[in-house]
Structures are given as C-alpha cells and as structure tokens.
Amino acid sequence: MFKINHSIPAILLLIAVPFFYSCRKGSGPGGKATISGKIFEYKYNNEFTNLQGSYFKGDHDVFLQYDGDNTYSEKTSTHYDGTFEFEYLLPGDYTVYTYSKDSSLTTPGSIAIIREVEIEKKETVDLGTIEVYED
C-alpha cells in the first residue's frame, strides 16, 4: 500500500511563509528611512485681517498615510520647536498631511495641507517647513 507523508506539506509551509513576509514590497514600517519636517503657524484674528503672531508650532498633529491605505497609518505631534519625524520606513510612496484653517475663508473649518513623498532607499526626506493658519 502507498503511504503519504503528511510532514512534507508542513515543512514546505514553514519554508514558504517567511519567504513571503521577507519579500514584502511597498510603503510601511520596517525600513531605515525617515520623513521629517517643521510646522510654522500664522495666527490671525477671526477675519484673517490682522496677523497676531507667527511661530514654529508645537503640539500640532501630523499624519502619515502609507500607499494604498484609506486612513492615516501613523500620527505624531510636533515637538516644541515645530519639528516632526516619521522613522523606520520602507521604500515606497507616502502621503504626509496636517490641517490648517483656510486663510482665504472660502472653506469653512479646516483644510488638509498635503505633501506626497517617494522614498527610494535608506534616506531622510526633509519636507522643509509646512505653513498652517489659525484664527
């Protein structure tokens, strides 16, 4: 009689599963790249007619979206000096965004300030200064 060895499929599975995870492509955590930047705020009165102050904004939310995600993937707050950083990223496409008041007063509430980023290798991508407005 012919006997099937059931341990062979289990061994193949143990070999194949790590292979598929190690071949993961696309944006996300697990790499050596960094996205950084600063948030600079212009503070106006309610009508946006009088500038009351301008400064690098601490404790301001910044969001990171991995390519293909429908919502934000990571969130951070700026440091006291307005700097933010998203670390340990794989090569891929990312969207960084934050919210600002619309200084033209055409959109009630807040609008998204969006920066698209492509990481190709282990690198630090500096988005520079992102300007936001508050009333």
Domain ranges in the chain are 26-134
| pLDDT at residue 109 in the model | 86
Question: Is the pLDDT score of 64 beyond 70?
Answer: yes
Cβ-contact 96, 86 below 8 angstroms:
yes
Question: Is the pLDDT score of 44 beyond 80?
Answer: yes
User: What's the predicted TM-score (pTM) here?
Assistant: 0.79
Q: Which CATH code fits 26-134?
A: 2.60.40.10
Query: Strand 74-77's sheet: what is its strand order?
Result: 74-77, 61-66, 92-101, 110-119
Q: 21-50: buried (b, 16+ CB within 10 Å) or exposed (e) per residue?
A: eeeeeebbeebebbbebbbbbbbbeeebee
State what percent of residues in the chain have pLDDT above 70.
81
Q: Is pLDDT larger for residue 67 or for residue 2? A: 67
Average per-residue pLDDT for the chain: 87
Burial of 14: CB neighbours in 10 Å, binned 0-12, 13-18, 19+: exposed
